[in-house]
Structure 1
């Protein structure tokens, strides 16, 4: 039987205490408060509950993650994670959540779609939900904590198929990212793979249609602005259980066409959530910063758009000159292992 573990690395304030209470409910659980009392954390359902200081840090949480890191990259193997973050200020809850999820995921922790509940100083991040729930902001926050608690310990098995949608905006022949993906792909046997190239012309970014307009088009699996996003991206994602993002890192940011495509997923998201779809990525940087892009994908597609984040979801490499990816030591072995990892988790 799986163990529900609540990691509370510092004394929580009033609201965070209530958030924890609502997320845990009546479920039996154990509480971990410091790195000095850290038990075996594999095969656990883990709820991280973090109170941030004025500069957006929780030192005790960092110590716990560092201790887990010292145990190796399987220290959270088989575990599922959720996160409650509270700040008495209006900054840092998003970036702190990204950092914790990224590090725990590197250690083998899976995160279901929308795994983080952020509560900032005045809870204005819940204002868009006021029109839907017609409740005070704090009540909406606590309701979302209950929902997260249920998802965290859920044993629901989603439908899976051996189909992968791959999105990229790179040019064949010069892209180290595509060359690395080719090394991965050749080891994905028995998988139906649909690649969509986003680089043919500029993709119109989301222009912020009204909720009613967006939902109207979303019900038809369409978007007001049409184009390749509707014609190729929507069907590829709808028909697949797994999404792989191929992301070159030029300026520590996702490329414009990839960002625009993610933004345009909102219309399809209005029709159906993506909790049953998994997210992987291949990221190649010319210098450094692959983790910055991985965190952007976590924030936009896992925390926001509800894609499940499998353990160690991102393969990252550094290669500058065209073709230099192939000169990285053992790169074919690393690509083969990542392909096996994908096959194991879909």
Structure 2
């Protein structure tokens, strides 16, 4: 899988996105896919999705392309590994566009390397923080990031981990949680895995204080954080030791539960010290009515795009269940949970 496939269906590619595509295809064999009516076999490929986000914060051409992919079935990207180049005509929209693409491709069998996106807003001001260290023009920094992403995608060749260490993070009460029930349906098929379940209770983890980079790095080198407590004593060490983290996320008002959001925000101290590229994430998301996709996209943005965790294919199992125990009434839910468990065992890689 040394060749690259570049999916770029937009008819109005900007000069900036064109330069980004040129950077990732330079000195590399590649196939440019532009026509949604003539899509080649995209299984077991290294894929760049090149997206032009418009002033309405989406790429209509890319969405049309995915509608054609979905007609081919939910395995049409199976075995492929993806990354994204996205340019916006405004200073907004790159995150939403990226999350939409990753979510759609993931449900077709595509995995994504950690830090899977290079975003270029219209002003390129999203690279100012990097400019403080690199002391280069913003456009040049963007293209350097594209080149690095290409190299990581080409070199990516993980292998399955046997008897993996799995950390399960949740905040729901045991007796009434459909999310926990769905997880336990799954975990009964993971007997050979080393599983640790960790409940984040109210008040256990305070949200990030927003320390300066220097102060956060100082604490990180000592395996500490400004707040200390269970985050330092248990959560961060458990994440560091794990091969995979499974996030159990009941849908609270179309947002990740505040306790788990605090954990994500406090990951920075560990993130300063180590890479998460060899750690895989999964999620169990249950909604009372709708919106599970919103939660999954938030996890994608926070953990794969921002923090750099590996995103395996079909990373999330989602369901709708409101009353306690209703999860058991969903048709074929036990079969779906077993399939999800099989995917977990197959897709914990490094």
Same fold (TM over 0.5): yes
Match of 1:173 in 2: 175
Match of 2:34 in 1: 33
Cα deviation 1:226-273 (Å, max 9, x = unaligned): 111111111111111111000000200001111110000000000001
- In the alignment, structure 1 residue 157 sits paired with structure 2 residue 152: no
Q: Indicate if the aligned counterparts of 2:251 and 2:287 stay in contact, CA closer than 8 A.
A: yes
Match of 2:137 in 1: 136
Q: Distance in 1 between matches of 2:341 and 2:72?
A: 24
Aligned match for 2:240, one of 227, 238, 243: 238
Flag structure 2 segments of 5+ consecutive residues without an equivalent.
Answer: none
Alignment partner of 1:271: what SS? Answer: coil
Note closer, same or farther for the CA distance 1:71–1:279 as it changes in structure 2 (3 Å cut). same
Match of 1:75 in 2: 76
Match of 2:4 in 1: 4
Alignment partner of 1:188: what SS? Answer: coil
Q: Distance in 1 between matches of 2:325 and 2:53?
A: 43
Q: Indicate if the aligned counterparts of 1:169 and 1:198 stay in contact, CA closer than 8 A.
A: yes
Post-superposition shift, 1:56? 1.9
Give the alignment of 1:1-346 within 5 angstroms: 1-10=1-10, 11-157=12-158, 160=161, 162-346=164-348
Post-superposition shift, 1:200? 4.7
Q: Distance in 2 between matches of 1:206 and 1:27?
A: 42
Q: CA RMSD in A?
A: 1.3
Q: Indicate if the aligned counterparts of 1:34 and 1:60 stay in contact, CA closer than 8 A.
A: no
Q: Distance in 2 between matches of 1:57 and 1:253?
A: 21
Q: Indicate if the aligned counterparts of 1:159 and 1:276 stay in contact, CA closer than 8 A.
A: no
Instruction: Count matched residues.
Output: 346
Q: Distance in 1 between matches of 2:257 and 2:2?
A: 40
Cα deviation 1:49-101 (Å, max 9, x = unaligned): 11122212222211110111111110100001111010121111110110001
Alignment partner of 1:337: what SS? Answer: helix
Alignment partner of 1:115: what SS? Answer: strand
Cα deviation 1:206-234 (Å, max 9, x = unaligned): 01101011011111222111111111111
Cα deviation 1:99-118 (Å, max 9, x = unaligned): 00100000000100011111
Q: Distance in 2 between matches of 1:29 and 1:149?
A: 12
Alignment partner of 2:111: what SS? Answer: coil
Post-superposition shift, 1:275? 0.4
Q: Does 88-97 or 147-156 show the bigger shift?
A: 147-156
Post-superposition shift, 1:172? 0.3
Q: Does 63-72 or 131-140 show the bigger shift?
A: 131-140
Q: Distance in 1 between matches of 2:41 and 2:160?
A: 31
Q: TM-score normalised to the size of structure 2?
A: 0.96
Post-superposition shift, 1:304? 0.4
Alignment partner of 1:36: what SS? Answer: coil
Post-superposition shift, 1:43? 0.7
Post-superposition shift, 1:157? 3.5
